[in-house]
Structure 1
Amino acid sequence: MIDINRTIPTVISRVASLEILQGIRIATFKKDRHITIRRINDTTLRITRHGFTNAEYELDEEKLKKEMKTLLKQEFPRSNKVHLSSVSQEE
């Protein structure tokens, strides 16, 4: 678990080192809502939201910081800490 204020820098540094089809999952304390970020190719990421809004879309890696600010406000509005875990290719 990490503090919500450290989530964006931590995610950006971990995403930079991801291999293709590997990902990161950010989940609430109860793990009932989560966001999965998976690398599709060298510059494209796929974001899957499962929570208040269920959606899946792709974006460029350079737009990730701005998108993360929006996602954290929408999906985790009252959270102080979040779970951060790695996601393998099969999941």
Structure 2
Amino acid sequence: MTCISVRPADGRFLVLSPVWPGEDASVLFDRNSGDYWVITPPARALVQHLVDAARPLSMAELQKHATPPDSPNTSLMIEELSALGILAMG
């Protein structure tokens, strides 16, 4: 079985906005390009964990820190963030 790792896409320097009380979204910035995205709280938690780790993480590691834990939507969310060019899998 192949272990897939997840990391920020090449060239990305990801930074999250402060958490806004009562809001159901956050802004994710890329300092290198100026790109930004509005993301959901579960996507924020996943990206924050990946940025804090400062290394590629396995899908299993990210699944443990998903919101809610072990959410079946985590893989789909990672695929969507990868399709947007935010994350890379390999």
> What's the TM-score once normalised by structure 1's chain length?
0.30
Larger strand percent: 1
